[in-house]
Chains A and B, each alone.
Chain A
Amino acid sequence: MEKPKPLTQAAKVLALLTVVLLVCVPFLVIVSTSLASQREVVAGGGWVLWPTEPTLQAYRDILDGGIVTHALGVSAGVTLVGTLLSLACTVTLAYALARPGVFGGRPALLLILFTFLFPPGMIPNFLLVKELGLLDSYASLILPVLINVFNLVVLRGFFQGIPEELYEAARLDGAGDLRVLWTVVLPLSKAALAVVGLFYAVAYWNSWFYASLYLESDHWPLQQVLRTYVISGVSMTDTTLGDGAVNAPQTIQMAVLVIATVPILLVYPFLQKYFTKGVLTGAIKS
């Protein structure tokens, strides 16, 4: 092919740079503001692009055993337990639905796909959780969203892509279905499991609406706390923060924001390589 024109090259570089900056600058601002001193934030009119005298005071304040510390624990627990439960139930169901000729497999699949077309709705869901006595329990954040149909379809598609010969070989070696799943299918599906696991973990970590619906405020996860104090602007007092809250509320708010974002930033680099590997693209097409 001929060489691209320098003008189009420049335009491309400019466009890409804009994309990268649009994504990165807001994160830079919240991290910088959370690290800045009170004086600097006030001087900057509420935000700082680069802290000249960085301090971890805001983080010390919120991790001092107040409401944010507790919320962080709740979020971590719900995310961990929820992701494991969701993965286990999705894997077993997807595996059974991926094998040909399972008893009841076809009607089960139709039943599941129909829920995609016609979700029950918010009020019936709420009434069900209430009837089941799950109000104000952490189970109400997990059980109603246990299996995601999209994730199920992704995993089923992946399992179906495993060559039939491998199943046959394992069966001739005398392995039962659970054994085949554990020793053959799962080791081959690491990439798909990583992606689906990430989707579940992110969904649990980011979830706040169900918490606002079902939980009392002293059981709230981090995102719901964040919503209350940062977006709705309820002010954090000494009692909610733990002792010795002396920092500007702005730095505190930004520190909570950073803490809510960091876990995602941490796992993301390890998992994003799978996105380009075609795990999803195959599934999206099916």
Chain B
Amino acid sequence: MAALLRERPAKPTDKRSFRRPAGAKTERIRFRDRRNVALFWLMVPGLAYFLLFHYGALVGNVIAFKEYIPFEGLWGSPWTGVGNFQRMLEDKAFWDAVFNTVWIALLQLVFYFPVPLALALLLHSLTWSSVRRFVQSVAYLPHFISWVIVVALFQQVLGDTGMLNSYLGDAGLHSADIIGNPDAFKPLVVAQVIWKDAGWGTIIFLAALSQVDEQQYEAAAIDGAGPWRRFWHVTLPAIRPVVILLLIMRLGDILSVGFEQMLLQRDAVGPQAAEIIDTFVYYQGIVGGDYGYAAAAGLFKGVIGAVLVYAANKVAHRLGEQGVYK
């Protein structure tokens, strides 16, 4: 690598000979080849990262077919075949986690998904651009706040001694039992996702909306279309592809709901309400030390998840949309 890089200063001489009519062609080809090899070396650090930390780690999934014994390590531990998977399929706690995951994902689909869309439409309809930019800036901000802080903020506002309850107390009303209440947990996490990411989620819709030709609105208005009809016939067709694509992709990703968010709050409400597949893997493996079993659950999620994402893409293509990859 070093040798190749050191050859770089020789370039100008190369170029001079390249300008000579005789042998110009061969010089040019050599120059191109060397150029490509040099670019290849630029890829090396990044590629090494992916090979080691993704493909290298991927190999570690063999532990899912073994019983991990710390003393023996990854390779020395005895094989158990599909034993871990059999145990998993019979484990009620695992199925509770799957149920919670899918249930929370569906709740988010119904209650979170429309919010960024509505907010984007609202922002798009504003004619006063400085107000619009200000609201956009404020609404994007929570996306950059860590889950630790978001959870702490929600405790501050909705907790037993929080803002909401002291106002309710002042008004002589019953206090609302929200934080730490297993029954309120699922609505709470959906509300947290809305607070954190609804603003940021408008970006993609706003991008689609900005593609609409302003003249279409004017033409529709001249044809006598009111605001509602303009929305129905101009705005909606413009964002429909994005909406369908995002919906399909979210369905493909249904086995993933915010791991950090759940892990931070699981202890407060217990596994019944808050265990998702990812936290199940964490508690079985990292906390419980049962790496083989935990890896089996993780692999199960990875395989099903990949199949779902792949299928979602196929559906998107079938519907004539772009998909995430081609």
Q: Interface on A for B, CB 8 Å cutoff?
A: 1-2, 4, 12, 15-16, 19-20, 22-27, 29-30, 33, 44-47, 49, 88-90, 92-93, 95-97, 99, 101-105, 108, 111-113, 115-128, 131, 143-144, 146-147, 152, 172, 174-179, 181, 202, 205-209, 213, 223-224, 226-227, 230-232, 253-254, 257, 260-261, 264-265, 268-269, 272, 275-276, 278, 280-281, 284-285
Contacts and interface: CB of A to CB of B under 8 A. Distances in A.
B309 interface: yes
B148 A122 contact: no
Contact of A146 (B14, B36, B42, B49): B49
A124 B59 contact: yes
Interface of B: 5, 8, 11-12, 14-15, 32, 35-40, 42-43, 45-47, 49-61, 63, 74, 119, 122, 125-126, 131, 133, 135-142, 144-149, 151-153, 155-157, 161-163, 166, 169, 195, 199, 203-204, 206-207, 210, 217-218, 221, 227, 259-260, 263-265, 267, 278, 281-282, 285-286, 291, 294-295, 298-299, 301-303, 305-306, 309-310, 322, 325
Contact of A124 (B40, B57, B136): B57
Given A23-B139, A120-B61, A226-B149, 4 more contacts: A16-B131, A93-B43, A176-B8, A206-B145
A257 B260 CA distance: 17
Contact of B122 (A16, A104, A118, A281): A16
B122 A15 contact: yes
A131 B161 CA distance: 46
A208 B150 CA distance: 13
B108 to A, nearest CB: 18
A253 B157 CA distance: 14
A120 B58 contact: yes
Nearest to B10: A176
B163 A47 contact: yes
A153 B47 CA distance: 14
Contacts of A253: 152
A268 B200 CA distance: 13
Contact of A24 (B57, B138, B152, B217): B138
A108 B145 contact: no
A261 B142 CA distance: 10
10 contacts: A16-B126, A22-B195, A45-B169, A92-B43, A103-B37, A128-B60, A178-B42, A231-B151, A275-B140, A284-B203
A20 B133 contact: no
A227 B146 CA distance: 11
A2 B50 contact: no
A174 B11 contact: yes
A115 to B, nearest CB: 4
A146 B56 CA distance: 15
A195 B35 CA distance: 29
Contacts of B137: 269, 272
